[in-house]
Amino acid sequence: MATPCAGPFLGAALGTALVLPTVAAIGVFAMLGLGLAIPFIMIAFVPALRAKLPRPGPWMVKLQRGLAIPMGLSALAALWLLWRLAGDTALIAGIAAMAGLVFFLWMGSRRPGLGRVALAVGVGLAIAGAVFLPDRPSTEAAIPDFAEPWSEDAVAAAREEGRPVFVYFTADWCLTCKVNERTAIKRQATLDAFEDADVAVFVGDWTDGDPAITRFLEGMQRAAVPVYLWYASGREAEELPQVITQDMLVERAQSSARKTSLPPT
């Protein structure tokens, strides 16, 4: 609910809540929480719904094992993110901590008295990881060949040249960002249209919480990525939706190319 990666449904609500007065913001978050809780509340207070629930049986074990698959994939994604944010040492420490926790949980299942010990070890490992893991050495973000690192000065310079500009703010931990990049931005048709229209593309990588990007997003009253901005030649920024398509970008680039190819009047 509160991740800085704003998906297509919660982005507007979260962005609005973060710029509202405190009481109104609390109300927005309370309604979001209520929306998530409604199915459980209905089951708890409506006997007819409870009666439709399947009886306990072997299906519960199968469901438990099935749900272990997305949980395992989530754990792998978290380890990858830990490596991206804090480096190899953190990854090794994270794997070791998970292995130790699994061992204690397994021992706890065999000896019930060790259950609390396993819980204490897990909490201790989490606290130790948050306090003692080193920060990742500062490195340059990987910028695609067709783009440049974002800065307000670079964008202003490109606009002064009369070029259309496309800016996208992304992060390694933002699934929506990565899907949009794969399906819309990094497609060959999009890149060809950008090249034909001489579009200047800038990438703002917010993986490490770049302070300059944070200030810019706050100035736009945004607290999450993805954020996509299109600057047509001589115009102010147009903020695109959080879920973009290839056609959306190609059409804007082609429109800019047609305008620049027209003879002056």
In-domain check, residue 58: no
Q: Please indicate, yes or no, whether residues 152 and 235 belong to a single structural domain of this protein.
A: yes
- Residue 65's pLDDT is 92
In-domain check, residue 238: yes
In-domain check, residue 143: no
CATH number at residue 198: 3.40.30.10
Q: Please indicate, yes or no, whether residues 250 and 199 belong to a single structural domain of this protein.
A: yes
Q: Please indicate, yes or no, whether residues 219 and 166 belong to a single structural domain of this protein.
A: yes
Q: Please indicate, yes or no, whether residues 197 and 239 belong to a single structural domain of this protein.
A: yes
Q: Please indicate, yes or no, whether residues 197 and 105 belong to a single structural domain of this protein.
A: no
Question: Could you tell me whether strands 200-205 and 148-149 are parallel, antiparallel, or unpaired per DSSP bridges?
Answer: parallel
In-domain check, residue 142: no
Whether residue 205 contacts residue 171, with contact meaning beta carbons closer than 8 Å, is answered with yes
What does the H/E/C string look like for 152-185?
Answer: HHHHHHHHHCCCCEEEEEECCCCHHHHHHHHHHH
**What total number of domains does the chain contain?**
3
Q: Please indicate, yes or no, whether residues 152 and 130 belong to a single structural domain of this protein.
A: no
Pinpoint the alpha helices (H) of 88-210: 88-110, 115-132, 152-160, 175-180, 188-196
Nearest to 6 by CA among 181, 241, 247: 241
Q: Which amino acid is residue 57, in one-letter code?
A: G
Within 13 A of 185's CA, how many CA atoms are on the CB side? 29
In-domain check, residue 264: no
In-domain check, residue 37: yes
| Structure-token pair, residue 188 | 């060959």
Residue environment code for 217-255, b if the CB has 16+ CB neighbours within 10 A, otherwise e: beeeebbbbbbbbbbebeeeeeebebbbebebbbebbee
Host domain of residue 79: 69-137
- Residue 225's pLDDT is 87
Nearest to 177 by CA among 203, 198, 152: 203
- Residue 1's pLDDT is 40
- Residue 33's pLDDT is 87
Q: What is the pLDDT along the chain (265 residues), one digit of tens a residue?
A: 444 455 556 655 666 666 667 788 788 888 888 988 999 999 999 999 888 888 889 999 999 999 999 888 888 888 887 787 777 787 888 888 788 777 777 777 777 666 677 677 767 776 776 666 655 554 455 688 999 999 999 999 999 999 999 999 998 878 789 889 999 999 999 999 999 999 999 999 988 888 999 999 988 888 788 999 999 988 999 999 988 999 999 999 999 887 765 555 5
Question: By three-state DSSP, how is residue 187 classified?
Answer: coil
- Residue 80's pLDDT is 81
In-domain check, residue 62: no
